[in-house]
Structure 1
Amino acid sequence: MAETKLPGSTDSQDHRLDLILRGLERVDTADAELIKDVLHEKVHPDIFWGVAPTGRPHIGYLVPFVKIAELVEAGVEVKILLADLYAFLVNYRHSRSLVASRREYYRFALTAVFETISGLPASTIAFHQETSFSVSPDFINDVYELLSYTSLGEARSPNEELATTTMLSPLVVPIVQALDERYMDCDFQLGGLDQAGYYVYGDKYLPKIGHKKRHAHIMNKMLPGLTGTKMSASNPKSKIDLLDPPEIVYQKIMEAHCDSSTANDNPILALLKIILVPIGRLRLEQSARAGSNAKKTIPFVEPNAPEGCVFSIMSGRESYHYKSYEAIEHDFLAGKLSSGTLKAAVADAMNQILAPIRKSYEDNSQWQDVLKIAYPESERDVSNASPETQNASENFCIPTVLREVSNERVKLIPFNPALHTAEFIKRVQDSPEVWTHGPVGPFESAENFDTDFIDKIVRPKTDMLLYAVIDRCKPPTLADKDGALAGLIAYLGTSPANLCTEIGFVVTLPQFQRTHVTSNAVGLLLKLALDSPNEGGLGFRRVQWMTSSVNHPSIKTAEKMGFTKEGVIRWDRLYPGGANTGKESNGKPLDVDGKVGHMNGRDLGRDSVMFSMCWDDWYLSGMREHVNERMAR
């Protein structure tokens, strides 16, 4: 009777070999020859990938699963080894019971990863448990045999962690990993390039204990960390957890290192090269293959993309469609794609990949329960901390105002960098003109925005409260469940003693300008400040509005809302280096007949127009009704 073939298997040996070997970091000639021989001998050769359940899985684990999906397409039977003994020995501080819980967490997480990337059911692959054979007398005897052959230097040689450990148990892991190959008894073994030292050890010593059959080793690329170092579960800033919420994914990617002068050590390009483009190519191949059992999924392309494209990137109003990673890299290094544009496209695609994984977790109570045991709260990524603890204006002098202020059209919520920064910077990346008349900006990245504005200006000030402006007339977004992030607005110079404040840092994103957003955001802050306490307000006596004398849209907004012009404050502000950052000055020269040579010629000066609205305007001159009417338009 003919042997049943796996989904995607093919009679073309060259095609199968290409699927097995493509995208690998390194393939030794001897390993490639072994694989060719096995493909001639077997319809369904088998392979195993071992993983130690230590820290929480992150997106680095997507890399081997791209290769695993390609192996399945090539008709290879794939086995996942959950190396729980290895994990216990290398992380000796953790109990066996904790490692067992982490093993189960990995089983749930990696099942979801496989189904997401391959589009196939988890039954296509098989999970094995290292402790199912490591407790056998034969395995233990083999450990003793290998101990007798292994010097201390050889035990330390596979990687730097073993070279510096002061504990004995980690030095046993090269022996355990070598024996995994013997007891799994597969045709091939898949690992990362960081496993090369272990393979060298196994190839040398397994024959000494009677294991004559050499297995082929293939090694996938290693994904660099977002900070330019190795992606590590122990470094929250370097990695994206598989369960990170969408806004955290956006923020981490928008803050990631992305040097446009080189493709080397660029984590954003690496995500495209190692994960996203290969997944797009795999999905395209699956969708084109007649009779495929894989779930029909759409690559990361727009509906109007030409046939054969695997990735689309939108820059402003123009879309670029790509059939290869090399084309994306070329356009990025040539300046056709900005780092902000590239990051936004990568963040969108990465969230598309992670969404079904998060959904699997949300639908699986067993997975949720084991998370609580496997990774106690003290070890969780700080990025998953409660958003309430990350309020940028938590030091504001009136704590009772640190809350939502809203009507049916617009919501103001205290700005939370974890929820709002990445989305905000993404939206203003191609509109630097929003910073033309203000004392800050433009910002190169979300990280710069948080460091130079939130941490240096907003957080230290007790008189400043920064709000995110949410347009509730738009569908829910990653930034807020009630609508779309439309801009910023703030209280400045707030003095409870003098019952006064200022409305400033009014930044309405371009797509929300000339709509209801600005009038409602300003109106909500006027009502909160000037309404009496028994009406839910603060009962302030004065709200002021200061803007550049050449910021005509801001002046027009103040006039429309009913503010009274009090005058012009000449040379009120200095924009240091403003000539280099797109600022617009008062138009007056700093150097007149050489008499002000001490001034920096790149600095710009600003005249400020002062407006105000006071309690008597509010209650006695009809401004309260006027503002309500403007908000209703």
Structure 2
Amino acid sequence: MSTMSNNAIAHPDLDLNTRLDFITRGLARIDNADRALIEKTLQVKEKPSIYWGVAPTGRPHIGYLVPFVKIAEFVEAGLEVKVLVADVYAFLVNYKHSRSLVARRAEYYKFALGAVFEAILGLPVSCIQFHQETTFADTPGFINDAYELLCHTSQAAARSPTDELRNTVMLSPLVCPVVQSLDEKYMNCDFQLGGLDQAGYVVYEDEFLPKIGYSRQHARIYNKMLPGLTGTKMSASNPRSKIDLLDPPELVQQKIVDAICDPCMDIEDNPILALLKIVLLPISKLRLTRCFGAVSGASAYAPFIEPGAPDGALFSVMQESGEPQHYASYDEIERDYLDGNLSATALKNAVAKAMVQLLAPIRASFEANPSWRDVLNLAYPESEQDVLASGTVDASECFCIPAALRQISNERVKLTPFNSTLHAGEFMRVAKQHPEIWAHGPIGPFDSAQSFVSDFIETFVRPKTDMMLYAVIDKSKPSDGVDDDGVLAGLISYISTSPTNLCTEIAFVITLPPFQRTHVTSNAVGLLLNFALNSPDEGGLGFRRVQWMTSTVNYRSIRTAEKMGFTKEGIIRWDRLYPGGRRKGKLSSGKSLQAKGRATHMDEDDLGRDSVMLSMCWDDWFLEGKREHVNGRMDN
């Protein structure tokens, strides 16, 4: 791919500390024992080996720059670097695709990731080795080891590494921990690189590999994870959250300009700062170290600085005044940004320019390689696009009533099916400032948009067929970019929905504090009541009962329900348990978990809740004037 000669592949005669710095800097995590093992291995081995595994599923995006920055540093440290293309794992976890399609994607990954490696420093792809899982996964030894691991693995253990496995209804993904664990054995390297999202697999490996006689001898290190442009997880299946490696420059520019970048959001969730911290500045530092002035065509691999930058500068930002501001470290950039001395617009423009420069060699490699161009359409044909490729799949896609998977609105408020890519980042940006909104419910608080998505949306909402979660949009406010019709004001949902019994419950009514005591809550609740209780001829579901349950000490929620016309039916004692509720800031019903001096089986940090049950039924709606009452409340 690259025309650069091999005579500049690595720095000669690096001392131990320099090699150790290349290997360990910028990591998300490295245990002291692993660090000591790396140091010991460098002392006794001239060229230790390290591997990183990747499953060829969705098209590679800029998130893959993160491990490849480390891979470039490994090459600089004189390591033998192996990239494992885990095609067997990809087939098992993405079972809807054929083996032949996965094989084509494995080819695509080799082209794409090879180009990523070359783009960072201009080194030839021959500096690293690509290995394919099928070369050893089909051997008798591997298959026998897999059978043995399966005999030791319970279903719970197989589901334990990730939420994806915990929620699957298929068998093949549950074999993935077995396959990934054996990769470790059969790659037989001194070190292993992985992302923090792989930590659950490591726990499985450490417990079960010794049961088949394999004792870990290598060190594990973890790279950081790049958040998506929307503030949630970057995913190949969510176009708005990521930049494809082959996106044209104008699209790269537009996606970065549109990315969330708010001083009030958690720093770790800010995609612009993350790109700087774990991709652009480390690459700029590597490029400065490498003295590109003597290399032909060095401009494509120059540091991300403007002409005239002082020695030691790693990144330049053009201010609105037209003058460049030069930075020697990420900390300086973050400090200026948080202090208001560096605008989000200037920062985004500089990051966009650097990303266009970084991705240019990858696009050039693609255009110059007919084999890569040919395999693109075979690996990602129009008929085999990933289920989530449109980026518009909603959190409640499994809801039992497809007719509810649509927008419901009036002149003041719109309810739209909650979409993690569109809504989670903005919702958590505000919610993090108000942890009290989680005090009366079983979920939360969440420390980031990513944890909100993984621990609530993906774990709690998406698997349920009886739950429909809506984002609440206040149409009286001008759009802030999340929704064209207004501003994201909160959440609301149907739960415990039964088409057979024609009943549902309105729950998770979370109106963000800036929108409380306005028209938002009454209109959101009113829209759901009208949709549930109105007849099908009127565009409703024709349900017979809508209930409302809340804690007996959630006085605001009770008052809201009663103002909307719900009838109180009674108290359900000890209806909920909040595990760890005291620690999480939950408000219970004030009942002690001690009974006559005897502790119950519950932890002292747990809290119990009594619930009040309220309802509105079809006869209330049509015969007792409740429909007119609700619509009147919505107009106030």
After TM superposition, the score normalised by the length of structure 1 is: 0.59
Say which of 165, 169, 172 aligns to 1:169: 172
Is 1:356 aligned to residue 361 of structure 2?
Answer: yes
Is 1:297 aligned to residue 288 of structure 2?
Answer: no
Whole-Å Cα distance in 2 between the matches of residues 287 and 452 of structure 1? Answer: 52
Shift in Å, 1:214? 2.4
Shift in Å, 1:210? 2.0
- 1:108 alignment counterpart: 111
Deviations 1:113-145 (A, max 9, x none): 000113210111000010000000000000011
Is 1:377 aligned to residue 382 of structure 2?
Answer: yes
Is 1:13 aligned to residue 13 of structure 2?
Answer: no
Whole-Å Cα distance in 2 between the matches of residues 229 and 284 of structure 1? Answer: 32
Deviations 1:189-245 (A, max 9, x none): 111011111112112222221222422111100000111110001111111100111
**Counterpart code for 1:282:** L
Say which of 328, 331, 354 aligns to 1:326: 331
SS of the aligned residue for 2:165 comes to helix
Whole-Å Cα distance in 1 between the matches of residues 295 and 260 of structure 2? Answer: 42
Whole-Å Cα distance in 2 between the matches of residues 250 and 212 of structure 1? Answer: 48
Is 1:274 aligned to residue 272 of structure 2?
Answer: no
SS of the aligned residue for 2:269 comes to coil
Whole-Å Cα distance in 1 between the matches of residues 295 and 247 of structure 2? Answer: 35
Is 1:41 aligned to residue 41 of structure 2?
Answer: no
Shift in Å, 1:444? 10
Cα 1:130/1:122, change in 2 over 3 Å: same
Is 1:93 aligned to residue 93 of structure 2?
Answer: no
**Counterpart code for 2:380:** Y
* Count, aligned residues: 389
Kept in 2, the 8 Å contact 1:9–1:74? The answer is no
Is 1:343 aligned to residue 348 of structure 2?
Answer: yes
Whole-Å Cα distance in 2 between the matches of residues 114 and 103 of structure 1? Answer: 16
Shift in Å, 1:7? 1.2
**Counterpart code for 1:313:** V
Whole-Å Cα distance in 2 between the matches of residues 275 and 199 of structure 1? Answer: 25
Cα 1:382/1:362, change in 2 over 3 Å: farther
Kept in 2, the 8 Å contact 1:118–1:294? The answer is no
Kept in 2, the 8 Å contact 1:10–1:16? The answer is no
Cα 1:156/1:12, change in 2 over 3 Å: same
SS of the aligned residue for 1:88 comes to helix
Q: What are the ranges of 5 or more consecutive residues in structure 2 without an aligned counterpart? A: 1-6, 392-477, 487-636
Kept in 2, the 8 Å contact 1:57–1:241? The answer is yes
Shift in Å, 1:297? 2.7
Q: What are the ranges of 5 or more consecutive residues in structure 1 without an aligned counterpart? A: 384-442, 454-633
Whole-Å Cα distance in 2 between the matches of residues 55 and 68 of structure 1? Answer: 21
- Pick the structure with greater CA Rg: 1
Deviations 1:589-627 (A, max 9, x none): xxxxxxxxxxxxxxxxxxxxxxxxxxxxxxxxxxxxxxx
Kept in 1, the 8 Å contact 2:292–2:298? The answer is no
Kept in 1, the 8 Å contact 2:38–2:219? The answer is yes
After TM superposition, the score normalised by the length of structure 2 is: 0.59
SS of the aligned residue for 1:25 comes to coil
Superposition RMSD on alpha carbons, in Å?
A: 2.4
Kept in 1, the 8 Å contact 2:292–2:301? The answer is no
Deviations 1:302-326 (A, max 9, x none): 1100011110000121210011111
Kept in 2, the 8 Å contact 1:309–1:321? The answer is yes
Question: Following superposition, which runs of at least 4 residues in structure 1 exceed 3 angstroms of deviation?
Answer: 288-296, 380-383, 450-453
> How do 1:76-225 residues align onto structure 2 when only pairs under 5 Å count?
76-225=79-228
Whole-Å Cα distance in 2 between the matches of residues 196 and 313 of structure 1? Answer: 36
**Counterpart code for 1:270:** A
**Counterpart code for 1:135:** D
Question: Which piece of structure 1 moves more, 324-333 or 10-19?
Answer: 10-19
SS of the aligned residue for 2:291 comes to helix
- 1:235 alignment counterpart: 238
Say which of 284, 289, 305 aligns to 1:285: 289
Whole-Å Cα distance in 1 between the matches of residues 370 and 288 of structure 2? Answer: 33
